Amino acid sequence: MPYYYSLGQKPQKRHTQFRKPDGSLYSEELFSTEGFSNDYSLLYHVYPPTQIIRTENPVDVAPRIAEEKMLKHRSFEGFNIKPAADFLESRIPVLVNNDVHIVLASPQKSLLDYYYKNADADELIFVHEGTGTLKTMYGDLPFSYGDYLIIPRGTIYQVDFNTAHNRLFIVESFSPIRFPRKYLSKYGQLLEHSPYFERDLRPPQNLQTHTEKGDFLVRTKKKGVLYNIHYAGHPFDVIGWDGCCYPYAFSIHDFEPITGRVHQPPPVHQTFEANNFVVCSFVPRLFDYHPLSIPAPYNHSNIDSDEVLYYVDGDFMSRKNVTRGMITLHPAGIPHGPHPGTVEKSIGAKETKELAVMVDTFHPLMLTQQAIEIEKPGYTESWIE
């Protein structure tokens, strides 16, 4: 939940008359991802957001599962996902379960010919390569390398890239993406020990109210099906809004690492949480300062979670043969740890420049056919000395 924010024009009191210059009423919409029981925003539209003029045949876009059950470490070359011009066609699901879909994308062109809405899932879009602007009914969110874009489900958006080569790591969450409870006061403020602060969050800006009428295609995903829905009014016709449910940006470069005398466990890197999974940020940081410390992580048993690491940049001292955009999957049920030789090599190191995003799920992940196509063989046996 971001903090309360407001843009544009609004009536003094909610659910009251708010009239246009011509005397007709603006159309109020309550926007929430959990009904009437949690965070929400109130948006004021020039036209009712319900004016559908036609629909088209739906398209099945559900992930194609290749392996539902498995118990071995896996590695995938994420940058082997082929670029595609269209934003939606570029999105390739690789690891999925009922709580979360992990998706790779390399779109070459901006999403400006139509609008997109994920009606099922909040989206976390991590920008690995590329710059541009996320355009929504709430306003604009400029983005660049290292940004997390958090988009509540149901948000209608477009993406305007400034670049032709773009790489995105996307997490689709079937429950709201939140700040970790351990970072929040009982009133919802980020606490002093949190590794980031409200000031680090970037809300939408530059709200532009579009009053065009016509035929506007909003491609809407629901239950693995893409519906083409045409509306009579421009989706970005909002004159003003306020509340606590809206898209925002947070840069991984603004995450302040928590360090100690000895190696700190992964929960200190936690950045977001949702139902049955968490997201962590591994950022450049000083290593442990106990005189006998071992900077490399210790072996640990994955008993109740699948661990996914997406390698962004830098030198990963606990892993060999790491490439940018690589994904490793360490499933629940078998231990994993640093590669042979990396423990001794890490002793005496003062800092790391690594940058990575981790997703830990508490239900097993399934591999898609596209994941099998980019798998790097031999990773399971890479701990043999």
The CATH number linked to 306 is 2.60.120.10
Looking at the fold, whether 132 and 115 belong to one and the same domain comes out as yes
Q: Considering the domain boundaries, does residue 86 fall inside one?
A: yes
One domain for residues 233 and 90: yes
Which residues neighbour 333 within 8 Å (Cβ) at sequence distance 6 or greater?
71, 302, 303
Residue recorded with tokens 């290292």: 146
What is the span of the domain harbouring residue 105?
52-62+82-237+244-252
Residue 376 to residue 76: CA distance in whole angstroms: 5
Angle at 127 between CA 121 and CA 131, to 5 degrees: 120
Confirm whether residue 140 is marked as ligand binding: no
- Considering only CA atoms, which of 98, 94, 91 is closest in space to residue 75? 94
Query: Could you tell me the pTM of the whole model?
Result: 0.95
The whole-angstrom separation of Cα 293 and Cα 344 is 11
Check whether 321 has a pLDDT greater than 90.
Answer: no
Overall average pLDDT of the 28-32 stretch: 95
- What was the pLDDT predicted at 1? 63
**How does pLDDT run across 214-272, given as a tens digit for each residue?**
999 999 999 999 999 999 999 999 999 999 999 999 999 999 999 889 988 888 999 99
Q: Is the pLDDT of residue 207 over 80?
A: yes
- pLDDT band per the 50, 70, 90 thresholds, residue 302: confident
Of 252, 279, 311, the position where a domain reaches its end is 252
Do 228 and 260 lie in a common domain?
A: no
Q: Return mean pLDDT, the chain.
A: 93
Side-chain-facing half-sphere of 367: CA atoms under 13 Å:
22
Tokens of 190: 């980020």
CA 39 from chain center: how many Å? Answer: 19
Task: Assess whether 365 and 313 both reside in one domain.
Answer: yes
* Residues 216 and 328 grouped into a single domain: no
C-alpha–C-alpha distance, residues 6 and 42, integer Å: 10
Residue of 210, 263, 269, 363 with catalytic role: 263
Give the sheet arrangement for strand 355-361, strand by strand. Answer: 74-77, 326-330, 306-313, 355-361, 277-282, 270-274
Region of residue 263 (phi > 0: left; psi between -120 and 50: alpha; otherwise: beta)? beta
Question: Length of the chain, please?
Answer: 385
Q: Note whether 186 and 284 are same-domain residues.
A: no
Q: Are residues 248 and 268 in the same domain?
A: no
Question: Does the annotation place 253 within a ligand binding site?
Answer: no
| Same domain assignment for residues 222 and 358 | no
Q: Is residue 33 part of a domain?
A: no
Residues 276 and 216 in one domain: no
300 is in an annotated binding site: yes
Judge whether 263 counts as a catalytic residue. yes
